[in-house]
Amino acid sequence: MQPQRPKKSVLITGASGFIGSFLVEHALKEDMEVWAAIRPTSSRKYLTDGRIRFIELDLGNGQHLLRQIEDHRRKHGPWQHVIHAAGATKCASPEDFKAVNTEGTRNLVQSLTAAKALEGRFVFVSSLSIMGPVHEHDGREITAADTPCPNTTYGRSKLAAEELLGTVEGLDYIILRPTGVYGPRERDYFLIADSIRKHVDFAVGFRRQRITFIYVRDLVDAAFRALVNGRSGSTYLLSDGADYNPRHFGRLIQQEMGVRHVLRLTAPLWLLRAVCALGEKTARRRGKAVTLNKDKYNIMKQRNWRCDITPARRELNFTPQYDLARGVKETIAWYKKEKWI
């Protein structure tokens, strides 16, 4: 009888978050040794499986983080893989984006390499928003070869994090840039469903807009494929492979919730800009992040989010399993089950 081979170990940062919790679930299904990186205050609501091994990592303090990772390596050895999904999508101040998304990533990769705590690949979950409004006017698909021109503080912080990965000698890494990620447990897209439940569907701007989505389980599948496929140092854009009119998303939600009558309103961009500017001022005054801010304005006003996922299909062997109709159906079913709606 052959001895049992040890399980592959994976460290998942941001494990208590929307995407992170699904990454943890997928790793458990793959029978991996799963280390969920959390903070002392992190919720474990979606991390209840007894096989999960928790580790507290202070990504905001490089020296403390190095000691934590060195301690882990002495006791348990290095990780085979790391999926870095921790990050902030909205903050009370621009400085917070840099501290969390850029410096947090810097601290993590430097500590992993200094402690020799990573044997295999580092997968970084970035964002399509770092591309900014490329091809805004010609409507062509955004590609990974296009030069990023982020027009949000969030996007700039993510791009800076991407760029520093290439400066770490010997780091085997892949960058994923997903478009809008939706699914169970996610809060921002839920606001749209909640509005439609109240019989109102908002759109922004009067020029034609093409938006893209990726269901959370498809993003997670791509992340695990990137652990073993793809060329080191490569960047891959991710969506479900289609693009949509904003009203299409709303109508699918309406259909799944069984809402009969919906008032469809289109807000002019100047009104959205005013509301987001007010939200930004409120956030700074209260020291608390809000959903509608200047970053959100730049994202919502963008007319073209079409992106080319051909390299991901070819090199990661990634095939999206969820079109928007299937993803919305599963998401709304979860909202109902959890009594969110």
State yes or no: pLDDT of 332 exceeds 70. Answer: yes
State yes or no: pLDDT of 329 exceeds 60. Answer: yes
Q: Which residues lie below 8 Å from residue 329, measured CB to CB, with a gap of 6+?
A: 252, 256
Q: In which residue are the tokens 């051909």 written?
A: 310
Q: What is the mean pLDDT of residues 271-286?
A: 83
Q: How far apart are CA 10 and CA 19, in angstroms?
A: 15
Helix or strand (DSSP H, E) at 225: helix 216-226
Q: What pLDDT, on a 0 to 100 scale, did the predictor assign at position 1?
A: 40
**Mean pLDDT of all residues belonging to the chain:** 93
Q: What pLDDT, on a 0 to 100 scale, did the predictor assign at position 291?
A: 79
190 or 294, which is more confident:
190
> Using 50, 70 and 90 to split pLDDT, how confident is the model at 226?
very high
Q: What pLDDT, on a 0 to 100 scale, did the predictor assign at position 5?
A: 54
Q: What is the mean pLDDT of residues 172-180?
A: 98
State yes or no: pLDDT of 289 exceeds 80. Answer: no
State yes or no: pLDDT of 83 exceeds 70. Answer: yes
Tokens matching residue 48: 């209840």
Q: What pLDDT, on a 0 to 100 scale, did the predictor assign at position 293?
A: 81
The domain limits of the chain are: 9-181+213-240+306-321
**Domain 9-181+213-240+306-321, CATH 3.40.250.10 — does that match?**
no
pTM (two decimals): 0.94
Q: How far apart are CA 270 and CA 145, in angstroms?
A: 32
